C-alpha cells in the first residue's frame, strides 16, 4: 500500500469541544484567480469540557494563511503551528477573538466540497466537513455559532450575492464591485453555512405561516431556466403547510431561498435559509421532466425544508448521529409524499428501494449500524442504511406508539432540544417519555447492523378453533458484530378467511377482538402468538405495510400467494405476494431454463391485467417483475446470465400469452389532455408504459411502430423517454437516427441529456459497453460533472448487470479505470463507484477474482483518496 492508512474515528472517543465559537464574521472577496476569506471568531472555553488544554486546535485544509491575530495582536510564526489538517495556537486565554485571512482557489476545486464554481457561479457545499476548506474553524456539528457574512464580488458577473439568514446591507464599491452582508440570527454548525454568487434570476412566492407571519420564497436559477421552477415552488408551499399541520412546525426566518446548480455531488443541501440544490431536483417542465422527476422534486424540496427543524434547529452532536436528522427527515418526506400522491404505491416504492439497496448493503462488507461505531471518511456514511433504514427505525417507533403518542413525542423532542446538538438516544428518550414505555431494547436498531430474518410458522387447531403463529428472529453476522441480541420488532398481521376477508383477531387472554390488522410485538428470539375463536383455517397476511425492515420466511403455497395477491386488504402485502410468486417462477427459470411457466402464474397476471378496480399505479407495481439484482440477492451465488435470460424469457412469455390484454390496457390508459403530474395521471402513464415494455418483448414490427408513434407524439418526457429507451434496446438504423435526433433537439439541456446518456448505458444491446466507452468522449459528457457520471457510468455499472458483470471482466476494468480517473478530481463521487464492486464475494470464482483484482489495483494506486481507500479496503477485508 502506498498511502498511509487513514485514521479511524470512533464514536466511543467522543469528547465535548474544548472551545465554543459564539459569533463568526466572515468577509469573502471573490475573484477570478483567487478568493480571500477574512474571518473573525469570538471564542471561549467550553464550561462543559473537562480539563483545560493549553492550545486551541482549529480545522483547516488547503488554506493559504495570510494573516492571523489574537485579540488584535498579529501572531508571528512561532506562536502557532500549521499542518495539512489544521492550525494550533498555544497559550490562548479563556475568552478571545481570533482573526485570520486565507487565500483559497475555488476555480480549481473539482471535489465540489467547500467553496467552488459551478459554471459561472460560486457556491458552497459544507456538509459534512467542507467548511474547513473555507477557513479555520471548529468544524464539528456540536459547535453552533451565529454567522454574519459579507460577500464582495464584481457586480456585472455576480449581481446576486447570497448567504444564510436575512440581508442586512448592500453597498456599491469602487471598481464595479458590490458588497452584500447577510446575518443569520440562529446559531448553527458550520456545515450549514452557504454562500452563492452568480448571475441568477429569482422566481418569487410567499407563504403565510399558521401564526400569520409572511415568508418570502425565492428560487434562484440561471436565466434560461426561470420557466422551469413552478413545480418546485408549489412543492415548497405544500411542504410548509404540511409541516405546520402534521408536526406543528413553522418556518423561522423571513426569507427562504433555493438555488439550483448544475455541479453537485448529491441531491441537495439544507443550509439554513439558503438551500443549494442539484438542478435535477428543481427544474421541470412537461417537455423535459418525467413523472419520476416531478415526484423527485416534490420529495427533495420537502426533505430539505423539513430539515429546518429536524437537522438545523436541532442538529447532530457528532457525525455518528447522522441518522438523527436523516432518518427522521426521510421518514417525514416519505409521509409527505404519501399524503400528496398515492400512499400505498409510495410505500411499495420505498420498500422496493430498501430491499434492493439497503438489504444488499447490510449483506455486504460495508454493512454498518444506523448509528455507525466508526468511520475513516464520514462522506462514505451517507448511505441507504443511515437514510432509508434510519427512516424505517423512526417509522417503527411511530408504529409502536401510535399517531397521537408519536406526535407528543416529536413535540417533546422539539421543545426539549431546540437549539442543541443531540443524539439518537435523545430522540428515542422523547418517544419513550411520550409513549410511557421503555424503549431500551428498541435502541438495538441503532447499534446492531444487519437485516433480521423472521421465520414464521402457522398452525390451525380445528378442535380448539385456534391459530398459532410461532416467530423466530435471527440476524446474520456483520463486520465486527458476530452475535446480535434480539430486536424489538413491530409485526403487523392480518388473517384472511376463505373468502379473502379479514377475520376478527383476538389473542389468548384478551377480551376484545380487533378487526383487520393487529400489531404484534416481538422481543424474544422465539415467540408464539395464539389467536382464538377462528371458525376456519386462515391465510396469514404478514408484515402488513412493511411494519419493520426485516425479511419474512413463511412457507406459503403458490395458491396461497395468488390468494393474497387477489384479496389482501393490505396493498403492500398484495404486491409482496405477487413479487414472491414472480421470484419463485424466475428462480425456477434460472434452475431449469427450458421449463414451462406455470399456467397459474400466467392466469394470475391475466386476472390482474383485467382488474379495472385497482389503482393503475398499484397494478403497475404488482405487474413489475423483481429486478435482476434483487433476484441475484436471493441466490447463494449470483448467476448473472441465468437471471437475465430467465427474466427476459418470462417477460416474453407473459407478453405472448397476454398480448391482447396488454394491447387493450395500452389503449385504455392513454391520458387525454395536457400533461399533469398528479397521482392519477402518473399511474395511468406508468401502467401504459409497462404494457408497452412487455409488448416490445415480442419484436413485432407493428408494436415497434406504436413505440415510435408514442415517441413522436408524446406531449411529455415520460412517454417520450419510455418509448426511446425501449427502442434503444435494439441496434437498428432507426434507433440510431432517433437517438441522434433526440440529441440534436436537446443538446442545450443538460438534464435531458443525462436521460439520453442513461438509456444508452442501460441498453440490452450486446455492445453497450463499447457504446458507453464512446460516449465518454462525446462533447456533452464531462467526468467532472457528477450528474453525467451517474447518468452514464453509474447507470451502466449499477443498472445493467448482465453487461457490467460480463464474464471477460471488461465491465470491471472499465469501472476500475473510471474510479482512478475520477478519484483525483472528486473522491466522493469516485467512492460511490467503488461500492459497486463491494459485493464481489457473491459471484462465481472467476468474477470474484476479476473484481478483487480491480479493487487491489485501486488500493495500490499512489495517492488514492481516503474516501476510496476506505471502501476498497473494507471490501477486501475477510
Ligand atoms: N444533508 C445533505 C447531504 C450531505 C452529504 C454530504 N456528503 C442532503 C440531505 O440529506 O438532505
Ligand atoms: Zn437529509
Query: Mean of the pLDDT values across residues 674-701?
Result: 97
Pocket test for ligand 1, best of 261, 270, 302, 832 (most atoms within 8 A of CB): 270
Pick the last residue of a domain from 184, 199, 214. Answer: 199
* 572 shares a domain with 488: no
Exposure class string for 41-59: b at 16+ Cβ within 10 A, else e: bbbebeeeeeeeeeebebb
Query: Are 471 and 532 within one domain?
Result: yes
State the distance from the centre of ligand 2 to the C-alpha of 554, rounded, in angstroms: 35
Q: What is the number of the ligand 1 atom nearest to the C-alpha of 378?
A: 7
> What is the tens place of the pLDDT at every residue in 148-200?
999 999 999 999 999 999 999 999 999 999 999 999 999 999 999 999 999 99
User: In this structure, are 584 and 490 located in the same domain?
Assistant: no
Average pLDDT estimate for 220-248: 98
Nearest CA to ligand 1 atom 6: 127
What pLDDT is recorded for position 597? 96
Q: Residue 26 falls within a domain, yes or no?
A: yes
Range 468-490 average pLDDT: 98
- Closest-CA residue, ligand 1 atom 8, reads 269
594: domain CATH number is 1.25.50.10
What is the mean pLDDT of the segment spanning 569-586? 97
Instruction: Give me the mean pLDDT over the 782-804 stretch.
Output: 98
Using a pLDDT cut of 90, give the percent of the chain over it. Answer: 98
What separation in Å is there between the alpha carbon of 144 and the centre of ligand 1?
18
Whether residues 527 and 670 fall in one domain: no
Mean pLDDT over 454-468 rounds to 98
Q: Is the pLDDT score of 805 beyond 90?
A: yes
Q: Does residue 572 sit in the same domain as residue 434?
A: no
Flag whether 175 is in a domain: yes
What pLDDT sits at residue 1?
44
For 626, which DSSP code?
P
How many domains does the chain contain in total?
A: 3
Predicted pLDDT of residue 725: 98
In this structure, of 553-562, 607-616, 744-753, the range with the lowest mean pLDDT score is: 607-616
**Residue nearest atom 10 of ligand 1, based on CA coordinates:** 326
Residues 403 and 477 in one domain: yes
Instruction: Find the residues whose C-beta lies inside 6 A of ligand 1.
Output: 127-128, 266, 268-270, 303-304, 307, 326, 379, 382
In a domain? residue 456: yes
Question: Which atom of ligand 1 lies nearest, measured to the CA of 304?
Answer: 11
Distance CA 370, CA 397 (A): 14
Q: Which domain holds residue 347?
A: 314-553
Torsion sign across C-alpha atoms 193, 197, 199, 205: positive
- Whether residue 52 is predicted with pLDDT greater than 80 in this model: the reply is no
The pLDDT score that the predictor gives to residue 220 is 99
- Ligand 1 center from residue 268 Cα (angstroms): 7
Q: Are residues 529 and 385 in the same domain?
A: yes
Same domain, 526 and 595: no
pLDDT of 338-380, one tens digit each? 999 999 999 999 999 999 999 999 999 999 999 999 999 999 9
The secondary structure of 93-122 as a DSSP string is -SEEEEEEEEEE-GGG--S--EEEEETTEE
CATH number at residue 349: 1.10.390.10
Share of the chain above pLDDT 70, in %: 100
The pLDDT of residue 367 is 98
Q: Which residue is closest in CA terms to ligand 1's atom 1?
A: 269
List residues, by chain if needed, whose CB lies under 5 Å from ion ligand 2. 326, 329
How confident is the model at residue 54, as a pLDDT? 72
Which of these ranges, 3-12, 81-90, 497-506, 827-836, has the smallest mean pLDDT? 3-12
Kindly state whether residue 485 falls inside one of the protein's structural domains: yes
What's the rounded mean pLDDT across residues 625-632? 97
Whether the predicted pLDDT of 806 surpasses 60 = yes
| 187-207 pLDDT per residue, tens | 999 999 999 999 999 999 999
8 Å CB contact between 755 and 791? yes
Question: Last residue of some domain: 698, 724, 750?
Answer: 698
- What's 37-61 look like in SS3? EEEEEEEEECCCCCCCCCEEEEECC
Q: To test the ligand 1 pocket, which listed residue (113, 194, 268) has its Cβ within 8 A of the most ligand atoms? A: 268
Are 424 and 538 in a shared domain?
A: yes
Residue at 379 is within a domain: yes
| Residue ending a domain, choose from 676, 698, 720 | 698
Q: Which of 129, 304, 377, 628 is catalytic?
A: 304
Q: Where are the extended beta strands (E) located within 356-410?
A: 374-375
- Residue 3's pLDDT band, with cuts at 50, 70 and 90, is low
CA of 370 to the centre of ligand 2 (A): 14
Residue 365 domain-assigned? yes
Q: Examine the domain organization and report whether 338 and 450 are in the same domain.
A: yes
Closest to 653 in 3D by CA, of 592, 596, 723, 584: 596
Domain contains 785: no
Q: What is the Å distance from ligand 1's center to 136 Cα?
A: 22
Q: 873 in a domain, yes or no?
A: no
pTM comes to: 0.98
Which of the listed residues 125, 266, 271, 311 should we mutate to test ligand 1's pocket, taking the one with most ligand atoms within 8 A of CB?
266
Residues 522 and 575 in one domain: no
Nearest CA to ligand 1 atom 7: 379
Q: Indicate if 662 and 592 belong to the same structural domain.
A: yes
- Give me the CATH number covering residue 19: 2.60.40.1730
Closest by CA position to 772, among listed 791, 786, 785, 787? 791
Is 304 among the catalytic positions? yes
Amino acid at each position: 500500500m502506498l498511502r498511509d492508512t487513514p485514521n479511524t474515528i470512533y464514536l466511543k472517543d467522543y469528547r465535548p469541544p474544548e472551545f465554543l465559537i459564539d459569533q463568526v464574521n466572515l468577509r469573502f472577496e471573490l475573484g477570478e484567480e483567487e478568493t480571500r476569506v477574512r474571518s473573525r471568531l469570538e471564542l471561549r472555553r467550553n464550561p462543559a469540557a473537562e480539563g483545560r488544554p493549553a492550545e486551541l486546535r482549529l480545522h483547516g485544509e488547503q488554506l493559504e494563511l495570510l494573516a492571523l491575530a489574537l485579540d488584535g495582536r498579529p501572531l508571528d510564526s512561532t506562536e502557532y503551528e500549521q499542518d495539512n489538517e489544521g492550525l494550533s495556537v498555544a497559550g490562548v486565554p479563556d475568552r478571545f477573538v481570533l482573526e485570520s485571512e486565507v487565500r483559497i482557489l475555488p476555480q480549481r476545486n473539482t471535489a465540489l466540497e467547500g467553496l467552488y464554481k459551478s459554471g459561472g457561479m460560486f457556491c458552497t457545499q459544507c456538509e459534512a466537513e467542507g467548511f474547513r476548506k473555507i477557513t479555520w474553524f471548529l468544524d464539528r456539528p456540536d459547535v453552533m455559532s451565529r454567522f454574519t457574512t459579507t460577500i464582495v464580488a464584481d457586480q456585472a458577473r455576480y449581481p446576486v450575492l447570497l448567504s444564510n439568514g436575512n440581508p442586512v446591507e448592500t453597498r456599491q464599491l469602487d471598481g464595479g464591485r458590490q458588497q452584500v452582508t447577510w446575518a443569520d440570527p440562529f446559531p448553527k454548525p458550520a456545515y450549514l453555512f452557504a454562500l452563492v454568487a452568480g448571475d441568477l434570476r429569482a422566481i418569487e412566492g410567499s407563504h403565510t405561516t399558521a401564526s400569520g407571519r409572511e415568508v418570502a420564497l425565492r428560487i434562484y436559477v440561471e436565466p434560461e431556466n426561470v420557466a422551469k421552477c413552478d413545480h418546485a415552488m408549489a412543492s415548497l408551499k405544500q411542504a410548509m403547510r404540511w409541516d405546520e399541520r402534521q408536526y406543528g412546525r413553522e418556518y423561522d426566518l423571513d426569507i427562504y431561498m433555493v438555488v439550483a446548480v448544475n455541479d453537485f455531488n448529491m441531491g441537495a443541501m439544507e443550509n439554513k435559509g439558503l438551500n443549494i440544490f442539484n438542478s435535477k431536483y428543481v427544474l421541470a417542465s412537461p417537455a423535459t421532466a418525467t413523472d419520476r422527476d416531478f415526484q423527485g422534486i416534490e420529495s427533495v424540496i420537502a426533505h430539505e425544508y423539513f430539515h429546518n427543524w429536524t437537522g438545523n434547529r436541532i442538529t447532530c452532536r457528532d457525525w455518528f448521529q447522522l441518522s438523527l436528522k436523516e432518518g427522521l427527515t426521510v421518514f417525514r418526506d416519505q409521509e409527505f409524499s404519501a399524503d400528496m400522491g398515492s400512499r400505498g404505491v409510495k410505500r411499495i416504492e420505498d420498500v422496493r428501494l430498501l430491499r434492493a439497496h439497503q438489504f444488499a448493503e447490510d449483506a455486504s462488507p460495508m454493512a454498518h449500524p444506523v448509528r455507525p461505531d466508526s468511520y475513516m471518511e464520514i462522506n462514505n456514511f451517507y448511505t441507504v442504511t443511515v437514510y432509508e433504514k434510519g427512516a424505517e427505525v423512526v417509522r417503527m417507533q411511530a408504529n409502536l406508539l401510535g399517531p397521537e403518542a408519536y406526535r407528543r413525542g416529536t413535540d417533546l423532542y422539539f421543545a426539549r432540544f431546540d437549539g442543541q446538538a443531540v443524539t439518537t438516544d435523545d430522540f428515542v428518550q422523547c418517544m419513550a417519555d411520550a409513549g410511557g414505555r421503555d424503549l431500551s431494547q428498541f435502541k438495538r436498531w441503532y447499534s446492531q447492523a444487519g437485516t433480521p430474518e423472521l421465520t414464521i410458522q402457522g398452525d390451525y387447531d380445528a378442535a380448539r378453533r385456534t391459530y398459532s403463529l410461532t416467530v423466530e428472529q435471527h440476524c446474520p453476522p456483520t463486520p465486527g458484530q458476530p452475535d446480535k441480541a434480539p430486536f424489538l420488532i413491530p409485526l403487523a398481521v392480518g388473517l384472511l378467511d376463505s373468502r379473502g376477508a379479514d377475520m376478527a383477531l383476538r389473542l389468548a387472554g384478551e377480551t376484545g377482538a380487533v378487526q383487520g390488522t393487529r400489531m404484534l410485538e416481538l422481543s424474544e428470539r422465539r415467540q408464539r402468538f395464539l389467536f382464538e375463536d377462528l371458525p376456519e383455517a386462515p391465510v396469514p397476511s404478514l408484515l402488513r405495510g412493511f411494519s419493520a425492515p426485516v425479511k419474512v420466511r413463511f412457507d406459503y403455497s403458490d395458491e396461497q400467494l395468488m390468494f393474497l395477491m387477489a384479496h389482501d386488504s393490505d396493498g403492500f402485502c398484495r404486491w409482496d405476494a405477487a413479487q414472491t410468486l414472480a421470484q419463485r417462477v424466475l428462480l425456477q427459470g434460472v434452475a431449469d431454463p427450458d421449463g414451462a411457466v406455470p399456467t397459474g402464474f400466467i392466469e394470475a397476471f391475466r386476472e390482474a391485467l383485467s382488474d379495472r378496480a385497482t389503482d393503475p399505479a398499484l397494478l403497475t407495481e404488482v405487474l413489475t417483475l423483481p429486478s435482476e439484482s434483487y433476484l441475484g440477492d436471493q441466490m447463494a451465488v449470483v448467476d448473472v446470465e441465468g437471471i437475465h435470460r430467465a427474466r427476459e424469457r418470462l417477460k416474453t412469455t407473459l407478453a405472448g400469452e397476454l398480448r391482447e390484454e396488454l394491447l387493450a390496457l395500452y389503449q385504455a390508459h392513454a391520458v387525454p389532455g395536457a400533461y399533469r403530474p398528479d397521482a392519477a395521471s402518473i399511474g395511468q402513464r406508468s401502467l401504459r408504459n409497462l404494457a408497452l415494455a412487455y409488448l416490445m418483448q415480442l419484436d413485432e414490427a407493428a408494436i415497434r411502430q406504436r413505440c415510435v408513434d408514442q415517441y413522436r407524439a408524446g406531449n411529455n418526457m415520460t412517454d417520450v423517454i419510455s418509448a426511446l429507451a425501449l427502442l434503444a434496446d435494439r441496434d437498428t438504423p432507426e434507433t440510431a437516427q432517433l437517438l441522434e435526433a433526440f440529441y440534436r433537439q436537446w443538446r442545450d439541456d443538460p438534464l435531458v441529456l443525462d436521460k439520453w446518456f442513461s438509456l444508452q448505458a442501460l441498453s440490452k444491446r450486446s455492445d453497450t459497453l463499447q457504446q458507453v466507452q464512446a460516449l465518454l468522449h462525446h462533447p456533452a459528457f464531462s467526468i467532472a460533472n457528477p450528474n453525467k457520471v451517474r447518468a452514464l457510468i453509474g447507470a451502466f455499472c449499477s443498472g445493467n448487470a448482465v453487461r457490467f458483470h460480463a464474464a471477460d471482466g471488461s465491465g470491471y476494468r472499465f469501472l476500475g479505470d473510471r474510479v482512478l480517473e475520477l478519484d483525483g478530481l472528486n473522491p466522493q463521487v469516485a467512492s460511490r463507484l467503488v461500492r459497486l464492486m463491494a459485493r464481489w464475494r457473491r459471484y462465481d470464482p472467476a468474477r470474484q477474482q476479476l473484481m478483487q483484482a480491480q479493487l487491489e489495483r485501486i488500493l495500490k494506486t499512489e495517492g488514492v483518496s481516503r474516501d476510496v481507500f476506505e471502501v476498497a479496503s473494507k471490501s477486501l477485508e475477510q
